[in-house]
Amino acid sequence: MANSTFYHGYTIAIQQDDDPMAPDDWDGNAILVTTRNRYFSRQPKGFDLDEIRDGEFDETHFRYPLFMYAHSGVALSMSGFADPWDSGQCGYVLVPKDKTIDWDQEPVARQAAQQTVAAWNQYLSGDVWGYVVTGPGDVNESCWGFYGRDFCEKEARSLVDTLPRPEEAGCGR
């Protein structure tokens, strides 16, 4: 699903990233630990769901319930869903208390957990994008792994803004 735009003499093609990195690979702010199920499953090493449920990590991590809705796709939430048949609690979101000095504040930790859940929802729904910028001469730039199409397009335009305008470089279209 490519969508091309002409911007300052360059063509920007926005495309869905078909091999994105999972949020676990780049977001170290929160950890998802879930039950083993066929829809969405995360069991990082060193974390046992029963131990988390029993509060054994409460000294070192903030703990928030994680809910999943699985019906024609998967969605995650920290507050649950209004569907008793296709949703329920599937695990926890853990935020380490020692991340930074400010992380001992629960509202900051809750926000980090919510941001991690939002990133996972983008990943699970395919809302991860890349761009290819082509233009006069040998210009062919690309970058992938942007969570959110609007963010991807903004970053592509920012790149083009750093490139010489074709008329400035003596190139025409």
Query: What does the pLDDT average to over 105-121?
Result: 91
CA distance 36 to 93: 15
Q: What is the pLDDT, as a whole number, of residue 21?
A: 93
- What DSSP line would sit under 102-159, residue for residue? GGGSHHHHHHHHHHHHHHHHHHHHT-EEEEEEE-STT-EEEEEEEESHHHHHHHHHHH
Q: What confidence score (pLDDT) does residue 99 get?
A: 62
Q: Can you tell me the mean pLDDT for 21-28?
A: 84
The model's pLDDT over 26-58, given as tens digits with 9 standing for 90+, comes to 877 888 899 888 888 888 999 999 999 999 999
User: What is the reported pTM?
Assistant: 0.84
**42 three-state secondary structure:** coil
pLDDT band for position 11 (50/70/90)?
Answer: very high
**DSSP H/E element including 5:** strand 3-7
Across the chain, what does the average pLDDT equal?
89
Query: How confident is the model over 56-112, as pLDDT tens digits?
Result: 999 999 999 999 999 888 999 999 898 888 899 999 999 988 765 565 588 888 999
For the stretch 46-52, contacts whose Cβ atoms lie closer than 8 Å and that sit 24 or more positions apart, written own/partner, are 47/94, 49/91, 49/92, 52/91, 52/92, 52/94
The type of residue at 111 is Q
Domain boundaries, the chain: 3-20+128-162, 23-125
- Give the pLDDT confidence score for residue 173 in this predicted structure: 47
Residue closest to 65 by CA, chosen among 120, 124, 117: 117
> pLDDT, tens digit, for every residue of 139-151?
799 999 999 999 9
